[in-house]
Structure formats: structure tokens, C-alpha cells
Structure 1
Amino acid sequence: MIGLNKNEIRSNLLARRGQLSKAEVESMSCAVVSSVKSLAEWKKAEEVLLYWPIKNEVDVTPLFRDALESGKKVFMPCCRRDDPGIMDFGVVRAEGDLLQGSFGIKEPCRDKCEFPDVISPDVMIIPGVGFDRKGYRIGFGGGYYDRFLAHPQKVGSLAMGVCYAFQVMDEIAAEEWDKPVQSICTDKDVIWVK
């Protein structure tokens, strides 16, 4: 994908991800979830940020269930309908707290969930269409996670991108507002960003 711009890379990676079979998504997602659960950072985390997967994204719903069972506080994003690019984060205590929201993604119900003004989870699981080895990501292009990652995080918190191994590139042309994650977990390995 050398020489391609972000939009072309995004299109190529989304097309490739879209062609994955249900069995491939399940198997590769299972490998990612397994790796995350084995990390000391996940085990000791008291507060975590997760997302609900769409369009063959890594299925992190087992992490959602694991977090709830182990007593972690779980935050999930909720897009503002009238404020593009901005997400609020609700505390989710059960799958029943989620409703079909923006872009067909399950998100915390504003009537059922608490929405703190500021959150700083110990582990943040960040989806992406692609990542590079420096931790920079390509999302769907709305800048939602870049805005969130630009907020100060507490010392020791871990922003971890999750994707399939084919979605990791050597380098993405980063813009000044792009904020890298500190590690990337794929179905093949965990990459720690220097």
C-alpha cells in the first residue's frame, strides 16, 4: 500500500475486511481477545473502554462480558447526533443497557447509563481500519477517536488498538492531530509502540 493516500488505504482495508467469512472473524477475534485477556494491564484494570463491533471489526464482546464478570467498570462510546465527531462515554453494566445508535452501532442508552463528564480508563480498546507500527491509526474518517485520545489520560493508562494482522502497515502518513495508541493487538502478535 506504499504510495496510497489515507482514503485509498481505508478503502482497500475495508474491502479486505469485508470479505472475511464469519468463521475467519470469529477465529481471529478469538486470538485477539485471548491476547488482551492475558496482559497484566487488562487483568489489573479497574476501568476499561470498549466498543461494539460492526462490519467485521474484531469482535471484542467476550472482553465486554469478561470485564463485567470480573467487576471492571465498562465505558462505551455514544456518538452525539447533533455534534459530528464527538463521543460521550456511558457506564454500561449489562448488555441490556445498549441500544442501536448512530451508524448502526450498539451504544449506551442515555436514559439508563451514567455519562461522566471526564473519563480516564486504565485500558482503552480502540478499533481501527488500519494501524501502523508507530501506533497511528486510520478510522472511518470522522476523527472521533483522535479527539478522545487527544484528552489527557491518567498516568499508566493504556490505549490499545485492536485489528487483524493484515491491517497493520509499516507507516501511515500521520496528520498533526492524529494521536497514536501505545500498543496494537492482532490475531498474530502484540506490538508495543516505542
Structure 2
Amino acid sequence: MEKSISALRTQLRTEIRKIRQNLTALEQAQAEQIVTQKALDLIRKRNAQHIALYLSFDGEISTKLLIEKLWAMGKKVYLPILHPFCKGHLLFLQYTKETVLIPNKFAISEPQLNVKNILPLEQLDIIFTPLVAFDKQGNRLGMGGGFYDRTLQDWQSKHFIPVGLAHQCQQVDSLPTESWDMPLFDILVG
């Protein structure tokens, strides 16, 4: 009996997360350096000023160096938070050195909600997204909550571009996709 797409995706998430979590500290640091440089090149090329990132979790490529470099360049950095009223959606809040971070229901650090720090999606230039797996077609497999898929819906008609950040070990030949999956503009691999 053939596995359902859902079962294949769940199995793939488990396998790739395990591989990613087993990367050495050196492999993680090297990947962070490579991805940071690629991201900075893209940011310069697009003259991006408002950049959404995420705080790394569960073996994801660290975004710490990139965030620090963006702050030093005077760029505005934003982090996602779980939308308090619109279940399954994200808001993006400005992130500075003074930002207070609190754990969300998934134990991921996010800025404390302050409406003065929210930036509408339409004003972002680039949204760097986490992912579990990806393929050459630009398809991304996330953790399964659909937060980024909902956020990136119809991104082609919006101002921002979505760009994934990933380790090489997260690439697969072809992802089993669903109708709601949003292919990314680009995926930067370290």
C-alpha cells in the first residue's frame, strides 16, 4: 500500500530533522558563514532595508551572525511572532538589541507583542524562512504548522520575496507537495 502524501511528509520531516540535529558545531558554523555571505549579497543586490528573519531552533542554520551584520549596516530586522488573534498566522515585529524575547507555545523565542513594533507584510523586502527540507524546484517543507505557507500565500503579487535558508543536507530530489505549499523565490544553502 502506498503511503499518503501526509505520511511521506511526516517521515521526511523526522529524517531530515535528525540529520540536521546531528551536524557538528563546526559544520553549523561553516554553514552559517556561507549562508550569511549569500544573504548579504542578495540584500545588497535588492537594496533591501526591511528584512524578516527567524531565530534558529532545532538545528536550523544560525541567523545570529546575519542579524548582527544587518544591525551594523543599519538595516531593520524583524522576527515572526504567532498572531495572537488570527490562529495559524504570523506577525513581524522589529527586532533590536533591546527587544525582550519570550518563548511562544512551541518554546521558540519571539519578541513580546507591542503593536508599535509591527511591520505589515507589504513593507518587508525579504522574508528569510526556516525550512526542514527543500528541492531544486524551490519547494519548501516546513515543520507542519502552515504558518509560513499562510504568510507567503500569493507572495508574487506582494512587495517582498521569500528566501529559504538551509543546510545542504536538507535538500531532497523532489518533495511531496500539497496545494497550499508556496514555492520560494530562492533558497540559500550553506
Q: Does structure 1 residue 144 correspond to structure 2 residue 138?
A: no
Counterparts of 2:156 and 2:80, CA distance in 1: 16
Contact 2:124 2:159 in 1 (8 A): no
TM-score (ref. length: structure 2): 0.85
* Pairs within 5 Å for 1:16-165: 16-39=19-42, 41=44, 44-80=47-83, 84-94=87-97, 96-111=99-114, 114-152=117-155, 157-165=160-168
In the other structure, the counterpart of 1:175 is: 178
Displacement of 1:90: 0.8
Unaligned 5+ segments in structure 2 are none
Counterparts of 1:94 and 1:133, CA distance in 2: 36
Counterparts of 2:128 and 2:154, CA distance in 1: 16
- Select between 35-44 and 73-82 the one with higher mean Cα deviation: 35-44
In the other structure, the counterpart of 1:9 is: 12
Counterparts of 1:113 and 1:144, CA distance in 2: 22
Tell me the secondary structure at the aligned position of residue 169 of structure 1. Answer: coil
Give deviations 1:86-128, integer Å, cap 9, x for gaps. 2111122325343333322121111485124544411111110
TM-score (ref. length: structure 1): 0.84
How big is the alpha-carbon RMSD for the aligned residues of Structure 1 and Structure 2? Answer: 2.4
- Select between 86-95 and 141-150 the one with higher mean Cα deviation: 86-95
Tell me the secondary structure at the aligned position of residue 179 of structure 1. Answer: coil
Shift of the 42–67 alpha-carbon distance from structure 1 to 2, 3 Å rule, reads farther
- Select between 28-37 and 55-64 the one with higher mean Cα deviation: 28-37
Contact 1:120 1:153 in 2 (8 A): no
Counterparts of 1:155 and 1:117, CA distance in 2: 11
In the other structure, the counterpart of 1:190 is: none
Number of paired residues?
Answer: 185
Counterparts of 2:43 and 2:143, CA distance in 1: 30
Displacement of 1:41: 4.7
Tell me the secondary structure at the aligned position of residue 160 of structure 1. Answer: strand
Contact 1:163 1:184 in 2 (8 A): yes
Identical counterparts, % of pairs: 26
Counterparts of 2:119 and 2:36, CA distance in 1: 27
Contact 1:28 1:164 in 2 (8 A): yes
